[in-house]
Amino acid sequence: MITSHHLTSRIFTLAVAAVLAATAQGCFTGIESTPKITAGDVKREKIEERPEDRYLADIMPQPPADWQPGKEFYVTDNKISLLLGASGAEAGNLAGTILRLENLSEVTSIDGKRMVEATFTTEYGKEVSYRSDVQASSLDRSKNMEVPFTIEVDMVSKVAERMKGKRYYIVTSSWYDTDDNALTGRRFIPVTVVDVVPGSTFYPIKLILNDDKGKPLHLFMSVGSDLRATRKFGSLLSLSNPRDRYPEITDANWNNIVNGRVSEDMTREECRLALGAPATVDRRPGYSIMREIWTYENGRYLIFEDGLLRSFRQ
């Protein structure tokens, strides 16, 4: 039995095939179709540093040479017990607890190198030790000494001092609910930072926010100046209202953009704001028009004629 959903999907697939067939029969221009291009070719512009890129760039892990007794580390995963030697096996479940630094000392590794060992006290009063791969002779020059599966609490506190109670504009649709389940939310709306707490093994900061309707949501975030870090402030939040940068967009189309939708006659820029950059773009000349087909990884298609959306599958 063919359902209406299957029939609609098949009709759309046939329509796309028809567009491509018609395109292939268009006026000969010397090149019947251009090769697929990357999403970066959708909009070429000079990338400039923004205030958002610098907003938290100065907050990063503290160099180990500056660590003092009492420094706190939040444990993100009990796998840390495997790195604490014999002491870790007796420490109990450490996930979600705080380790307090007692001291840094020099120890000799199995190959005779002098390495740095950090000794901590758990919330249960037990002493545990982590032997790092940082040589004692380079401690003063080392910019960072990571203790796996932990987050430096004072780094979280610095982010909280800067952000707690302030309003920003969310620019990502990748939200998390109060149980930290991923969901798709609205973009370009105001949000208020209710609290800043330790995050996960991969993203050290968790922002607890309220949206413009008072609905709670979470975001996980990276900090620091490391260009390899993902989900930094600038990819999640804006300091100013993004709507102000697009006065030419109608209120109806902006509402589509906020809710991640498209409609006929939206421009390529409006569709990019609504859905993000496509995985591939196929440009083909037709009868006195230029067609573009945007394809997304989730099977969504957008078909443009002379820069305006004419057909799509949401």
pLDDT (tens digit, 9 = 90+) per residue, 236-256? 999 999 999 999 999 999 999
Pairing mode of beta strands 114-121, 205-210: unpaired
CA 244 and chain centroid, separation: 23
Average pLDDT for 149-153: 97
Q: Is the pLDDT of residue 18 over 90?
A: no
Concatenating the DSSP letter of every residue in the chain gives: ---HHHHHHHHHHHHHHHHHHHHHTS---S-SSPPPB-GGGSS-------HHHHTTTT--PPPGGG--TT-EEEE--GGGGGGSHHHHHTS---TT-EEEEEEEEEEE-TTS-EEEEEEEE-TTS-EEEEEEEEEGGGTTT-S----TTEEEHHHHHHHHHHHTT-EEEE--SEEE-TT--EEE---SEEEEEEEEEE--SS--EEEEEE-TTS-EEEEEE--SS-TT--S-HHHHEESS-GGGG-TTS-HHHHHHHHTT---TT-BHHHHHHHH---SEEEEEE-SSSEEEEEE-TTS-EEEEETTEEEEEE-
Q: What is the mean pLDDT of residues 284-297?
A: 88
| Joined tokens for residue 308 | 């305006």
Q: Region 88-94: what's the mean pLDDT? A: 88
CB 144 within 8 A of CB 61: yes
- Please count the other Cβ atoms lying within 10 Å of the Cβ belonging to residue 111: 6
Across residues 13-25, what is the average pLDDT?
46
Is the pTM above the cut of 0.85?
Answer: no
Cα dist from 145 to 97, 105, 213, 215, 278, whole Å: 20, 13, 42, 38, 39
Find tokens 């030697």 and name the residue.
85
pLDDT at 225: 74
Name which of 41-55, 62-76, 207-221, 256-270 the model is least confident about.
Answer: 41-55
Place of tokens 């545990």: 128
Query: Residue 46: pLDDT band by 50, 70, 90 thresholds?
Result: low
List residues bridging with 306 in a β-sheet: none
